[in-house]
Amino acid sequence: MSSSPLLSVRNLEIEVSTRRGPAKVVDGISFDVERGEALGVVGESGCGKSITTLSLLGLLPPGARVSAGFALMDDRNLFTLSRPALRKVRGGRIGMIFQDPMTSFNPVLKIGDQLIEPLVYHRGLSRAEAWERAGELLRLVGIPGGEARLDNYPHELSGGMRQRVMIAMGLACEPPLLIADEPTTALDVTIQAQIVDLVKDLRARLGMSIIWITHDLALVSGLVDRIIVLYAGKVVEEALVDDLYAKPTHPYTRGLLASLPTLEGEETRRLPAIGGTPPDPGRRPPGCPFAPRCPLKVELCERAMPPLEPVDGRNSHRAACWVTTGAMEMAA
């Protein structure tokens, strides 16, 4: 690779203290985000995808802490930054879009007052300059009327509008990395597509990198370049989007893809669901965490965690499965 990646996360572990002692909710995750790349992070609720991105900005909730690993950006480890340096990263180097546009805005402050904050605290703009720039940002994210909307309070906007404002807020200082944490989950299906299109369009214009967290594989397929699939705090598969669709390798990824409805195909096909639920982070089995739900599991799966192995000998596509990658034969 010619240039170094924008962000490198290595062996990240996050512990959450629970009544039964610490539980590892993120267990040795590693991934890179290249400059200008859009990375999709996919997994079901509780797999550790949100908390991973929160840790990058030092926004872990009380009781959670990074217990191992590092995250390199601009040649610095994000986990050991001083408070002022971390503040510069937040909003300045990494913009963040949260899931619920209803609760993520301060209800007693005007949209404009919240939108200008990154400009004031990172760019040092005066209030008036920032206000003007905020109006432009609103037009950029496709809010008609732009400036006039700045005087509105959050409850006066619809959910989709609010999410557009949220995107404008995340991009206000043109950070090289934008993290979107399930930004469409709380929205109507038609609005979801609009938001995805908007981000796609903005990426083409501004050229930032994106980490898009979702549990909806179909939604992001047209937006991201590469996908990593998380299960129970571990990366189980990573691949370029086309490779993943063409040859899903981990049984969990296969399950995810199989449960997507398609337009072509049999008319009355029952969508297959993955049976069971993910294991409790406090008491994960020693082997592959997916083993209890896996249709292909063998005895080895319950004893040892499979390593991430290249699929078809290519390093860009890797999966962590004893059975489907052929790692078992190699180990034997």
Angle between helices 159-171 and 127-140 (to 10 degrees): 120
Q: Is 251 helix (H, G, I), strand (E, B) or coil?
A: helix
Q: Which two tokens stand for residue 218?
A: 């179909």
Q: Is 298 helix (H, G, I), strand (E, B) or coil?
A: coil
What is the closest distance, in whole angstroms, from the C-beta atom of residue 88 to another protein in the complex?
A: 7
- Nearest 10 degrees: CA dihedral of 124, 127, 131, 132? -70
Nearer Cβ to another protein (231/322) = 231
What is the closest distance, in whole angstroms, from the C-beta atom of residue 59 to another protein in the complex?
A: 6
Nearer Cβ to another protein (65/247) = 65
Q: Which two tokens stand for residue 199?
A: 């981000």
What is the closest distance, in whole angstroms, from the C-beta atom of residue 129 to another protein in the complex?
A: 17
Nearer Cβ to another protein (169/323) = 169
Asked if 298 and 288 touch (Cβ cutoff 8 Å), the reply is no
What would you report as the CA-atom Rg of the chain, rounded to the nearest whole angstrom? 21
Nearer Cβ to another protein (114/324) = 114
- Nearest 10 degrees: CA dihedral of 113, 118, 119, 123? 150
The residues of the shown chain that bind another protein, judged by CB under 8 A, are 16, 18, 23, 25-26, 45-51, 57, 59, 61, 83, 87-92, 96, 98-100, 103-109, 114, 117-118, 121-122, 153, 155-156, 166, 169, 172, 181-182, 213, 215, 233, 277-283
Asked if 298 and 323 touch (Cβ cutoff 8 Å), the reply is yes
Of the candidates 274, 268, 266, the residue with the CA atom closest to the CA atom of residue 296: 274
What is the closest distance, in whole angstroms, from the C-beta atom of residue 96 to another protein in the complex?
A: 4
Residue 86, CB-side half-sphere exposure with 13 Å CA sphere: 14
Nearer Cβ to another protein (274/323) = 274
What is the closest distance, in whole angstroms, from the C-beta atom of residue 29 to another protein in the complex?
A: 12
What is the closest distance, in whole angstroms, from the C-beta atom of residue 270 to another protein in the complex?
A: 24
Asked if 11 and 28 touch (Cβ cutoff 8 Å), the reply is yes
Nearer Cβ to another protein (233/322) = 233
What is the closest distance, in whole angstroms, from the C-beta atom of residue 11 to another protein in the complex?
A: 18
Nearer Cβ to another protein (175/309) = 175
